[in-house]
Amino acid sequence: MDDLVRMTALELLNGYREKQFSPVDVTQAMLSQIARCNPVVNAYNLVDEEFTLAAARESESRYQSGETRGTLDGVPVAIKDVFLTPQWPTIKGSKTIDPQSTLGKEAPSVAALNRHGAVPLGKTTTPEFGWKGVTDNPVDGVTRNPWDPSKTAGGSSGGSAAAVPLGMGPLALGTDAGGSIRIPAGFSGLVGLKPSFGEVPHWPASPFGTLAHAGPMTWTVADCALLMNVLREADCRDTNAIPRRNIDYLAAIQGEPESLLKGVKIAFSATLGYVQVDREIEETVRAAALKLESLGADVTEVAPGFDDPLAAFGHLFYGGAANALRTIGKKQRMLMDSQLVSVSEKAAQLSMLDYLEAVNERMALCERMALFHKKYDLLLTPTLPITAFAAGREVPEDWPSTRWPSWTPYTYPFNLTGQPAISVPCGFSTSGLPIGLQLVGARFDDRAVLRAAQAYQLAAPLTDVRPQLFFENSPEEENA
């Protein structure tokens, strides 16, 4: 079983084709891994073994008949509980949503997975309405870090992030309106891509508006590219989707690291000009920059030259939170995360001019970064300035701010600009917690981001390192 649950999606597909094992074998192994590990980390809030095994058996039959479906036939996928799944309720961590009202509806990413024969493993945890950079909610409780369960997995795609390193699924779906794919990817030691806005269709429209992106969370960059080939397929329900470009992302990342980085100009900024970053993290990401340079990239240490856009982001993001709660009455709000209610009620007091001022700042930042990328293909930063902190908290203990964006200054600027940005593991702290680097590309140049990420991971792989919990017995097994 250990061999099956540690395999990448590409390795699974090859094994299916070679008849080394079947989708049922793999799905059973991953369901067993979920049963072992999920009680510790709370990555999944819904597992339906009967439905999942039925999907696996259908895939197995297709392989036996030689009539496989699409790109991911038989590959298990974890689905964040903000994506509508027709067979399962989508409650977004909230007691205010009627589970029955969500059935029979299908998000574009879920529809794409179904077209390509993927096996849905279950729904993964999220903070209520995906509103913060850690994962806990009034329905499902606290989600924990796979490397140290006393720490947070990050958020809002924390359940998906906790699942992948522990072998509870090789592929997962996440969303990102301020870092919600990259934050948990950085804290939990996996790959997470926020694609260019509009590259992956998303429906219904997020209450966080054009800050919100849907994207893949995987163990390897190659699997990330594979999943992007599926998720980017057209869906007419997303009115913000960009025209389909039919890029084969997996083909685009083939080659040796030196060929992938040939002629690539990378700007490295440890601080963006204003971030206080942990020294150990800065040194680790600086070493990654040197690795990229040794592989042939032209690396220059330079900041992109913008001031911290936290205030503008806050107006737009918390305005989105207020939008999410606009139809929820006082009685129902008493059932909700009290801090979500607090920030949304405060944001509801913003004036139209406050909001438009934030829009103006966002437009200026977009222009600055567009010009910046005329000179540099990519921007390299740490994913986060700190490592994972205690689970069940919005901010670290004794932190100077009470709100989560204050500790994720590298992520939210690029939700404002809509640029592609990926987090890739690049090391561990002395306490054994993951450290991630972030690569940001010009808008719509997701290909360049994935190519550089693949070059780095090929040259400095950490994919053979799994959390100790991956191998340990669950508390239930130990007490049996």
Q: Summarize pLDDT for 274-317 with one digit per residue, the tens.
A: 999 999 999 999 999 999 999 999 999 999 999 999 999 999 99
User: What does the mean pLDDT of the chain come to?
Assistant: 97
Residue 460 has pLDDT above 60, yes or no: yes
Q: How far apart are CA 384 and CA 407, in angstroms?
A: 7
Mean pLDDT over 200-222 rounds to 97
- Check residue 36 and give its pLDDT: 97
Q: How confident is the model at residue 411 (pLDDT cuts 50, 70, 90)?
A: very high
Has residue 479 got a pLDDT over 90?
Answer: no
Using an 8 Å Cβ cutoff, are 268 and 377 in contact?
no
**pLDDT (tens digit per residue) in 359-385:** 999 999 999 999 999 999 999 999 999
203 half-sphere exposure, CB direction, 13 A CA radius: 17
pLDDT at residue 216 in the model: 99
Q: Per-residue pLDDT tens for 2-31?
A: 799 999 999 999 999 999 999 999 999 999
Look at residue 201 and tell me whether its pLDDT is greater than 50.
Answer: yes
Assigned token pair, 376 = 């540099």
Which structural domains are found in the chain, ordered by start?
Answer: 2-479 (3.90.1300.10)
The residue-averaged pLDDT of 179-198 equals 98
Q: Which of 152, 157, 129 is nearest to 142 (CA)?
A: 152
308/277 Cα distance (integer angstroms): 14
pLDDT digits (tens, 9 = 90+) for 35-84: 999 999 999 999 999 999 999 999 999 999 999 999 999 999 999 999 99
Which positions are catalytic?
A: 80, 156, 180
Query: Can you give the pTM of this predicted structure?
Result: 0.97
pLDDT at 473: 66
**Residue 475 pLDDT greater than 60, yes or no:** no
Q: How confident is the model at residue 480 (pLDDT cuts 50, 70, 90)?
A: very low
Mean pLDDT for the stretch of residues 324-335: 97
Helix/strand/coil (H/E/C) assignment for every residue in the chain: CHHHHCCCHHHHHHHHHCCCCCHHHHHHHHHHHHHHHHHHHCCEEECCHHHHHHHHHHHHHHHHHCCCCCCCCCCEEEEECCCCECCECCCCCCCCCCHHHHCCCCCHHHHHHHHCCCEEEEEECCCHHHCCCCCEECCCEECECCCCCCEECCCCCHHHHHHCCCCCCCEEEEEECCCCCHHHHHHHCCEEEECCCCCCCCCCCCCCHHHCEEEEEECCHHHHHHHHHHHCCCCCCCCCCCCCCCCCHHHHCCCCHHHHHCCCEEEECCCCCCCCCCHHHHHHHHHHHHHHHHCCCEEEECCCCCCCCHHHHHHHHHHHHHHHCCCCCHHHHCCCCHHHHHHHHHHCCCCHHHHHHHHHHHHHHHHHHHHHHHHCCEEEEECCCCCCCECCCCCCCCCCCCCHHHHCCCCCHHHHHCCCEEEEEEEECCCCCEEEEEEEECCCCHHHHHHHHHHHHHHCCCCCCCCHHHCCCCHHHHHC
